[in-house]
Amino acid sequence: MSSDERLGSHERELYSRQIRLPGVGEAGQLRLKSAKVLVLGAGGLGSPAALYLAAAGVGLLGIADPDQVELSNLHRQVLHGFDTLGLPKTISAAEALSEINPGLQIALHPEGLTVENAAELVARYELVVDGTDNFATRFLAADACVLAGKPLIHGSVIRSEGQVGVFLPKQGCYRCVYPVMPAAASVPTCAEAGVWGATCGVVGSWMASEVIAVLLGRRTQSRLHLIDVEAGTARVVHLAADSACPACGREPTILALDKSFYQPTTCQLTPTAMSEHPLEVSIEEAARLLASAQPPLLIDVREPSEHATCCIACAKLIPMALVPERLAEIPQGVPVLIHCHHGGRSLRVTQFLRAKGYAQVSNVQGGIDAWSLKVDPKVRRY
């Protein structure tokens, strides 16, 4: 961006409400105009993220998605409509984004992100937005960003919960949180577990706001936002680089993008161990296990205020946001059950622990609310 570049009168009017914000001004708007951002996935998260980045005046958006628009997409993928059913999502996205901002430059990558093109594709942009829905592409995007020294904004959703990760170069990466790629079948997809369309809107919009914050120099530390739309809560976990991280640690083992790293079934945990300990158990099964001669460790990941309202007597309280820093209190090699209010937060923690190598951890479906309804009615509901 040249020092004498200025916004035109049309741009000043278009972005006037944004320009007057503290820390933006014309200089900040010009910074956004010069930005090149790659959006991976034009689906539930990529749709709202791309729409708000286009509306904010980001100069160039790359859209990478190999899929076509399907009817089941439309309740949450707001870039698309009935008139674009069957079209490649990249083309449908380009049409919608051009309506929002005709001055936007759009680069289409209908091949999506692959091991073969990831390094070259990421190198073209200064920041990557990951709204993909499978582990192989998420880990590929994360590793490509580490190798290229590019910031990554990651998002994921399931049911009414989501997370937004801000991963800055040398400040902690995706693999610092999730070092091992889980088996594809170990975590339910949105197609299996369901998802609220509005949850995608909240998380995708949050991703866009983090992109803008990074571009404007407002982020100096990696962090993870944990969002529960149904509960109306959001928490932030500040991250630091893990010296043992396989991607960005002191002695990294991921030095190039190798196809074998991103096979859909990749998992360092033995299939036997995982199959013996399902991802989720019913509230009745949890009660049976807890009443056995050798009960599992039960961890309550709700907030202290919720725990004060009601609790299961044998549960250990470790609030969700504190789990990463209190891993030493959770032994490996023993069965562990995780519960929360309704089962959403605890599923996130279960996924996190499995990625950290806890093979015997399972989520309690329905949480303490189901416990009150089906096991112990003396436990207060809220």
Tell me the backbone φ, ψ of residue 156, rounded to 5 degrees: -155, 155
Q: Single out the catalytic residue among 145, 190, 200, 248.
A: 190
Tell me the backbone φ, ψ of residue 171, rounded to 5 degrees: -115, 10
Q: Is 340 a catalytic residue?
A: yes
Q: 């320009």: which residue's tokens? A: 19
CA of residue 98 relative to chain centroid, distance: 26
Tell me the backbone φ, ψ of residue 224, rounded to 5 degrees: -130, 125
Q: 37, 104 in Cβ contact below 8 A?
A: no
Q: Single out the catalytic residue among 145, 176, 245, 340.
A: 340
The CA distance from 91 to 106, in Å, is: 10
The CA distance from 157 to 44, in Å, is: 9
Query: Can you say whether residue 20 is alpha, beta or left, with left for phi > 0 and alpha for psi between -120 and 50 degrees?
Result: alpha
Q: What secondary structure letter does DSSP report for 88?
A: B
Going 203 to 204 to 205 to 210, the CA torsion angle's sign is: positive
Q: Tell me the residue length of the chain.
A: 382
**Residue 85: C-alpha distances to residues 3, 40, 68, 93, 293 (Å):** 45, 20, 8, 12, 56
Which residues are part of the catalytic machinery? 190, 340
